[in-house]
Amino acid sequence: MIKLRLPDGSVKEHDKGVSVYEATAAISEGLARASMGAVVNGEIKGMTDIIEEDSEFKVVKFEDKEGKEIFWHTSAHIFALALKRLYPQAKLAIGPAIDNGFYYDFDSEHKFTEEDFEALEAEMKKIVKEGLKLEKSILPREEALAKYKEMKEDYKVDIIEDLAEGETISIYKIGEFEDLCRGPHLSDTKKVKAIKLLSVAGAYWRGDENNKMLQRIYGISFEKKKDLDEYLERMEEAKKRDHRKLGRELDLFSMHEEGPGFPFFHPKGMIIRGELENFWREIHLAKGYGEIRTPIILNQALWLQSGHWDHYKDNMYLTEIDEEAYAIKPMNCPGSILIYKSGLRSYRDLPLKWGELGLVHRHELSGTLHGLMRVRSFTQDDAHVFCLPEQVKEQLVEVIELADHIYETFGFKYSVELSTRPEDSMGTEEQWEIAENGLKAALEEKGIEYRIDEGDGAFYGPKIDFQLEDAIGRTWQCGTIQLDFQMPERFEMEYIDNNGDKKRPVMIHRALFGSMERFLGILIEHYAGRFPAWLAPVQVKVLPISDKFNDYANEVVDKLKSNGIRVELDVRDEKIGYKIREAQMEKMPYMLIIGAKELEERNVTLRHAVGGEQEEKELDVFIEELKEEIKNKQ
């Protein structure tokens, strides 16, 4: 017998070799029908997978992240079968589930466009109606290699050849199609009721620019057509909010082929950045942080000592100075450590809390670059806390509270993931266990629910990631908190304890915006370019009805400026309706209309950007109300 512990703490006993479906049906037949699979001892399993040992057992539905992964992975296989039926000569590469749906990479002489999607979707729907089973089999590596060579599936052969001799390979069969795959999958195709292919793109095999360019088709699928329709509506809204489009229209930033992945910020974009930085400095100063600045280029010896040279070199830009190897920093932490080591530290000095708006560079593949969301140079709102072991929980709680304050200010809800030890890591199991338990304890003290992301920690320590939910329900990985016992060890960092002995401090790495560039991109899409007044590059647009009122309009502008309000005056010889429409296109928070009545009464007509309501206002009253709104970051 084996024991399965459910999330509520109850335990179910089963015969060894029970399937996920059988274990789920023993809880509830209805649950088994609604389920996609289960998480068994932290590993995602399909409904037909077998459980051989005592396990933590959590059933997952489509609304769960793991359930979506199973559902969308199966959808990718349905796509591959449809592709092979319609285009038998296509050679398949890989087809994973992703955060929003799935994609499949393949090699084909036929150049696909969106016009091909209708036929592919029809074939996919036909496969769903056939209710085909997904059947798993295991083959020795050599047998699988021979099989795929015979099938002339070159990319599958390439994958198998990378595996060690003697390994076994899992294969999933769906109808007449077999795919090299570790799974997991749905038990059959019936659940995939609503399918939509979204776009086609190019992708280098294995992400290497030296390899052949393959074709990649993205898709999405759901259990119900209603959910697909809602998703497509959100996609249309997302297109309107695309930060690259709005960045151009609002004159915030631009990208240029002379520096792919290196954003250029325009004056209006710099105003928003400046406000974000001012906010960052204000809240950190209040929490006792000092601000530091470290060099962009540091020598190879430092990066060898930190571990980045061994674990991160492929993402670093390298250079040579005086015949010595240097690197442009991909992270700020080693520089912060050097400042710590520049003096003798006592236990009375700790915790030391230092923040840095540090410019870093990382080599990202050209195909992954995406506006401000994925760039090669960016400014991290980094901070490092050096503390005593007994101060760790208190400091983690303080950082979590700071993150909560920041995200609340911008109107974000968020969820939390705790990422554990990756395969390519430094340090002992005991150190990692202590670090992971420290992060869990801080989250639990704050009563924050979190999910475990196995194996996705940094190479030097586990981390907490904040997933922000924007105004249209999309999630963005943003802030991160990392607990690190490794860097203090590698750099021989010390403090003198109350007995006069030398001890190692604990290091907390954290960035709460994540990066200024990515956070700004998220904000543009979250607000659809219509920033709250405190962030808006121009807070008020003054619109005289004709040039007869320009003198009074200039008086209004001067008074707004003298009160620290960012204002523009539109004195073009255009009709007022045109000026208003232009100001609305510029996402102006407020418009002040100046005409005969306003001049006579020495007041203004205030037009709100949202809704278009107009009201007469005394100028001084409007100024005080706006200053209060800006001060409170409403």
Instruction: Please determine, for residue 363, whether its predicted confidence score (pLDDT) is greater than 90.
Output: yes
Closest by Cα among 319, 321, 320, 326 to 304: 326
* pLDDT class of 164 with cuts at 50, 70, 90: confident
- Listed in sequence order, the residues at least 6 apart from 117 whose beta carbon sits closer than 8 Å to its beta carbon are 197, 217
Q: What is the pLDDT of residues 18-57, one digit of tens each?
A: 999 999 999 999 999 999 999 999 899 999 999 999 999 9
Instruction: Please determine, for residue 169, whether its predicted confidence score (pLDDT) is greater than 80.
Output: yes
Q: What is the mean pLDDT of residues 296-317?
A: 91
Task: Judge whether 382 counts as a catalytic residue.
Answer: yes
Instruction: Please determine, for residue 612, whether its predicted confidence score (pLDDT) is greater than 90.
Output: no
Cα separation of 377 and 363, whole Å?
9
- Listed in sequence order, the residues at least 6 apart from 236 whose beta carbon sits closer than 8 Å to its beta carbon are none
Cα separation of 359 and 332, whole Å?
8
Active-site choice (384, 421, 510, 607):
384
Task: Judge whether 348 counts as a catalytic residue.
Answer: no
The encoded tokens of residue 253 equal: 């930033």
Phi, psi of 99 (to 5 degrees): -60, -35
* pLDDT class of 310 with cuts at 50, 70, 90: confident
| pLDDT score recorded for residue 613 | 86
Q: What is the mean pLDDT of residues 124-137?
A: 94
pLDDT above 70 as % of the chain = 100
Cα separation of 412 and 466, whole Å?
11
Q: What is the pLDDT of residues 388-423, one digit of tens each?
A: 989 999 999 999 999 999 999 999 999 999 988 888
Own/partner long-range contacts of 249-254 (Cβ < 8 Å, ≥24 apart): 249/529, 249/585, 250/524, 250/529, 250/537, 250/586, 250/587, 252/520, 252/524, 252/537, 253/372, 253/520
| pLDDT score recorded for residue 42 | 87
Task: Judge whether 463 counts as a catalytic residue.
Answer: yes
Instruction: Please determine, for residue 458, whether its predicted confidence score (pLDDT) is greater than 90.
Output: no
Q: Do you find a cis peptide bond into 334, omega within 30 degrees of 0?
A: no
Q: 168 versus 78: which is more confidently predicted?
A: 78
| pLDDT score recorded for residue 189 | 94
Task: For 366-400, give the secondary structure using H, E and C.
Answer: HHHCECCCECCEEEEEEEEEEECHHHHHHHHHHHH
Superfamily grouping for domain 540-631: Anticodon-binding domain (3.40.50.800)
Task: Judge whether 607 counts as a catalytic residue.
Answer: no
Which residue reads 């489509």 in tokens? 62
386 forms bridges with which residues in the sheet? 352, 507
Q: 208 versus 615: which is more confidently predicted?
A: 615
Task: Judge whether 509 counts as a catalytic residue.
Answer: yes
Cα separation of 495 and 387, whole Å?
10
Instruction: Please determine, for residue 492, whether its predicted confidence score (pLDDT) is greater than 90.
Output: yes
Q: 429 versus 514: which is more confidently predicted?
A: 514
* pLDDT class of 305 with cuts at 50, 70, 90: very high
458 forms bridges with which residues in the sheet? 461
| pLDDT score recorded for residue 438 | 86
Cα separation of 290 and 353, whole Å?
6
> Would strands 253-254 and 264-265 be described as parallel, antiparallel, or unpaired?
antiparallel
Own/partner long-range contacts of 223-227 (Cβ < 8 Å, ≥24 apart): 223/62, 223/71, 223/191, 223/192, 223/193, 223/194, 224/193, 224/194, 225/193, 225/194, 227/194
Instruction: Please determine, for residue 456, whether its predicted confidence score (pLDDT) is greater than 90.
Output: no
Packing angle, helices 154-161 and 141-150, rounded to 10: 160
Active-site choice (136, 361, 463, 607):
463
| pLDDT score recorded for residue 245 | 96
Statement: the pTM of the whole predicted model exceeds 0.85: no
Active-site choice (216, 243, 273, 362):
362
User: Exposure of 107 by Cβ count < 10 A (0-12 exposed, 13-18 middle, 19+ buried)?
Assistant: middle
The length of the chain is 634
| pLDDT score recorded for residue 312 | 86
Instruction: Tell me which H or E stretch contains 82.
Output: helix 65-86
Whether the CB-CB separation of 186 and 131 falls below 8 Å is answered with no
| pLDDT score recorded for residue 589 | 95
Instruction: Please determine, for residue 542, whether its predicted confidence score (pLDDT) is greater than 80.
Output: yes
Q: What is the mean pLDDT of residues 77-83?
A: 97
| pLDDT score recorded for residue 583 | 94
Three-class DSSP category at 132: coil
CATH fold group of domain 2-61: Ubiquitin-like (UB roll) (3.10.20)
Domain residue limits, the chain:
2-61, 68-232, 253-294+346-526, 540-631
Strand order of the β-sheet with 614-617 is 567-569, 540-544, 590-594, 604-608, 614-617
Task: Judge whether 510 counts as a catalytic residue.
Answer: no
pLDDT above 90 as % of the chain = 76
Q: What is the mean pLDDT of residues 550-561?
A: 96
Cα separation of 297 and 326, whole Å?
7
Cα separation of 71 and 65, whole Å?
10
Cα separation of 313 and 303, whole Å?
9
Active-site choice (68, 73, 333, 478):
333
DSSP 201-213: EEEEGGG-TTSPE
Cα separation of 289 and 107, whole Å?
53
Residue 125's CB is within 10 A of a number of other CB atoms, namely 17
* pLDDT class of 510 with cuts at 50, 70, 90: very high
Active-site choice (49, 64, 382, 484):
382
Q: 166 versus 71: which is more confidently predicted?
A: 71
Phi, psi of 630 (to 5 degrees): -65, -45
Going by CATH, does the domain composed of 68-232 fall within 3.30.980.10?
yes
Task: Judge whether 362 counts as a catalytic residue.
Answer: yes
Instruction: Tell me which H or E stretch contains 525.
Output: helix 516-526
Q: What is the mean pLDDT of residues 204-212?
A: 87
User: Exposure of 101 by Cβ count < 10 A (0-12 exposed, 13-18 middle, 19+ buried)?
Assistant: buried
The encoded tokens of residue 45 equal: 């399993």
Whether the CB-CB separation of 57 and 40 falls below 8 Å is answered with yes
Instruction: Please determine, for residue 460, whether its predicted confidence score (pLDDT) is greater than 90.
Output: no
Active-site choice (64, 136, 380, 421):
380
- Listed in sequence order, the residues at least 6 apart from 573 whose beta carbon sits closer than 8 Å to its beta carbon are 547
Going by CATH, does the domain composed of 253-294+346-526 fall within 3.40.50.970?
no
Closest by Cα among 473, 374, 372, 458 to 415: 473
Active-site choice (353, 509, 579, 607):
509
| pLDDT score recorded for residue 609 | 79
Q: What is the mean pLDDT of the chain?
A: 93
